[in-house]
Structure formats: C-alpha cells, structure tokens
Amino acid sequence: MIAVANGTKQKAKLPSIKNLTAEQERKVLARMLKNYLTELDNELDADALINKYSEELEDLCTIDKDTKDTFGFVNTWWVFGEVASELDYAVFMAEADNIGYKRSKRGERPMPNDLYRTDLNGDILFDDGIETTILDAMRKIDWN
C-alpha cells in the first residue's frame, strides 16, 4: 500500500492488496499503527495515513533479520506488542547495548557492561543501593 501511495507500484499488480476496498486498506493501516493513531486520525483515509505516518510505517515494515530463520519475515516488536496485549501479567523487558566485552578476530576487548557490575576482584555487585544495570533493576522487582 505504501508503494502504491508513493507511486512506485500499481495496486492491480499486487495480489495481496489488489482486491482490498478503501475501507479495508484503512483498517489494515489502523491495525499496524494502533499505538500511533489519535482520534483526529479517524477521519483520514489510507493515503492520508500513509503520508502522515510514513516514518512509523517504514519502521513497522522493517523485518527483523536476526529472527528471520526462526520466525520468518516479521517485525518481532510489532508481534510482541500484539501478543503482550493478550497477556494479563507483568513482563520485565531490558535491552543491553554492552555486555562487558567485544569479540573480534584478535580476541576480546573489555567494554562497559549493562548487565551487571563487578568489584575489583570480579565479584558481582548487588544490593548496594546503586541501580544502574539490568541486574539492579531485576533485583528491585517483587517477583511474587
């Protein structure tokens, strides 16, 4: 639909959307953009939604290459959002940019660690009142 709206493809040549009505196209876009839409967007047609949310749609249509072999061609964050809306319990989520080292052909190089902190002896630090790592955040949660 995005390629049709920006003029790079023809709707009649795309089997997945060629039979969709304007309302069906709008519903597909609304489902994809569920977290972005406002009440004012209810009046917009599919082309207007594509124009207004082009960057968001581009992000949502980006396939997660890391999980392609396991899950196929999907945006795993969008799927997670759909599944999470059906669950009725808390989920702890964290993302570590640094894990304490960087591996290269020449070996490992020490780097910052977002997972946990250690003292000079290499022992893991926790329950010291400092909350800067993922482990600190996890230990703060009441898991019961």
Per-residue pLDDT tens digits for 67-90: 888 888 888 888 888 888 888 877
Q: Where are the alpha helices (DSSP H) in 1-133?
A: 2-5, 22-32, 46-52, 54-60, 68-71, 76-84
- The answer to whether residue 93 is domain-embedded is no
Whether residues 54 and 107 share a domain: the answer is no
User: Lowest mean pLDDT: which of 5-9, 10-14, 36-40, 62-66?
Assistant: 62-66
pLDDT of residue 89: 79
Q: Which residue has the higher pLDDT, 45 or 130?
A: 45
pLDDT of residue 95: 87
Range of the domain at 48: 1-63
Mean residue pLDDT across the chain: 88
- The answer to whether residue 27 is domain-embedded is yes
> Which residues are paired to 102 by β-bridges?
109
108-128 per-position pLDDT tens digit: 888 888 998 888 898 888 878
pLDDT reading at 130 higher than 90:
no
The total number of structural domains in the chain stands at: 2
Q: What is the reported pTM? A: 0.58
Tell me what the mean pLDDT of segment 82-105 comes to: 84
From 43, 63, 83, the end of a domain falls on 63
From 45, 63, 81, the end of a domain falls on 63
User: Exposure of 33 by Cβ count < 10 A (0-12 exposed, 13-18 middle, 19+ buried)?
Assistant: middle
- The answer to whether residue 50 is domain-embedded is yes
27-40 per-position pLDDT tens digit: 999 999 988 999 99
pLDDT of residue 9: 93
From 35, 63, 91, the end of a domain falls on 63
Whether residues 106 and 53 share a domain: the answer is no
- The answer to whether residue 56 is domain-embedded is yes
Q: Cβ(85)–Cβ(77) under 8 Å?
A: no
- The answer to whether residue 43 is domain-embedded is yes
- The answer to whether residue 52 is domain-embedded is yes
- The answer to whether residue 73 is domain-embedded is no
pLDDT reading at 143 higher than 80:
no
- The answer to whether residue 10 is domain-embedded is yes
CA distance 79 to 94: 17
Tell me what the mean pLDDT of segment 121-142 comes to: 86
